[in-house]
Structure 1
Amino acid sequence: MKTLISGLLAALLALGGTAALAQSAAPNDAQIAGIVVAANTVDINAAKVAKSKSHNKSVKEFAQRMITDHSGVNKQATALVTKLRVTPEDSDTSKSLKEGGAANVKNLKTLKGGEFDKAYIDNEVTYHQAVLDAIDQTLLPNAQNAELKDLISKVRPAIDAHLQMAKQIQGAMK
């Protein structure tokens, strides 16, 4: 499980180390938009599996919240890039997120019961913390377009709320 989480988060954790990024390696706005969409899609896909597989009421409700909230952010991001006439670009980060997300979903589909719930929620805690770190340390500092920066700033509290909810469920499982 740790290898799946590390594979999924490698891109986001790499983003967290801004000092390690060369100035030329900082993502541009089109790549940031691609990262935002990829990160939301990864969480939506995992949540869909959780909603269908879990028998834990808290996990199912959390999964539905992830689907609703992250779908909403993707709609906002899509509307913004359309308005700005920016096409989200794939980057090593967004590709890595997609690959890690697919590996996580594949792993989750093999688990059942409490083992599934624990793996899903543990991943959500780690994932949302990494997303917050990436927002604070890379996405916001590198976004050049004010509207893109504003969108990222506005969704940050929701990501933090997701992290707190996941931690609460995780604590109740112990």
Structure 2
Amino acid sequence: MNTLSLAMIVAVTATAASAHADDVMNDLEIAHAAYTADAIDIRYGHLALAISENDAVRSFAETMIRDHNAVNAAAGELLAELNVSPQDNALSRSLLEGAASKRAELMSLTGREFDCAYALNELGYHQVVNATVADSFIPVVTVAPLRTLLTDALVTFRVHEAHAGRMVTALECAS
């Protein structure tokens, strides 16, 4: 069930990201979607700290909270410097809807079942978000500092993706 629901969430998120990204979002919509994706992963991290007793999972969650908060803080500083506000959009709303559903599912789990579901979700989430940032956001961003922020963040988030993959393997989760 966890693998199936992960596959469905990833497929829905990928489809939504692709559909909305193909509409060529403006820089302020991209900033909002990126910020939203980070905020979602921060919430997943807090949930993992509240539920998991596995040291490796908890350490990963702490890394997610720290790194995604740092990127969002940098984004906030950039928006303040440019004196602009991010624009809500369909992709951001779609991400939030998917995350609410995934959080509800994760909250119903405990122990190894939670740890595997969290690890698999983190792997899938980072795969989709990283591909969207690399293939749909960075190529169309017109403000150089935002492109730099996204490019730098992508380096960190690719490390997260690899770390999540190792965690899935270490936990021996069915993928």
TM-score, normalization: structure 2?
Answer: 0.90
Q: How many residues align?
A: 170
Write out per-residue CA displacement over residues 28-70 of structure 1, whole angstroms, 9 at most, x where no aligned residue. Answer: 0110010011000000001101011101110000000000000
1:141 alignment partner, SS class: coil
Letter in 1 for 2:155: P
Instruction: Please tell me whether the aligned partners of residues 125 and 166 of structure 1 are also in contact (alpha carbons under 8 angstroms).
Output: yes
Residues 71-110 of structure 1 correspond to what in structure 2 (within 5 A)? 71-110=69-108
Asked if the contact 1:108/1:119 (under 8 Å) is kept, the reply is yes
Identity %: 32
Return the offset for 1:107.
1.2
Task: Go from structure 1 to structure 2 and tell me whether the alpha carbon gap of 1:4 and 1:163 turns closer, same or farther (over 3 Å shift).
Answer: closer
Counterparts of 2:13 and 2:87 in 1: how far apart (Å)? Answer: 15
Q: CA RMSD in A?
A: 1.9
- 2:169 aligns with 171
Aligned to 1:138: 136
Measure how far apart 1:6 and its partner are: 3.5
Give unmatched runs, 5+ long, in structure 2: none
Gap change, CA 1:121 and 1:62, over 3 Å in 2: same
Name the aligned partner's letter for residue 89 of structure 2.
S
1:25-40 to 2 correspondences below 5 Å: 25-40=23-38
Q: Is the 8 A contact 2:126 2:160 kept in 1?
A: yes
- The aligned residue for residue 10 of structure 1 is 12
Asked if 1:160 is matched to 2:162, the reply is no
Structure 1 residue 8 displacement after superposition: 6.4
Select the residue among 36, 48, 51 that pairs with 2:49.
51
For structure 1, the residue ranges without an aligned partner over 5 or more in a row are none
Q: Show structure 1 runs of 4+ deviating over 6 A.
A: none
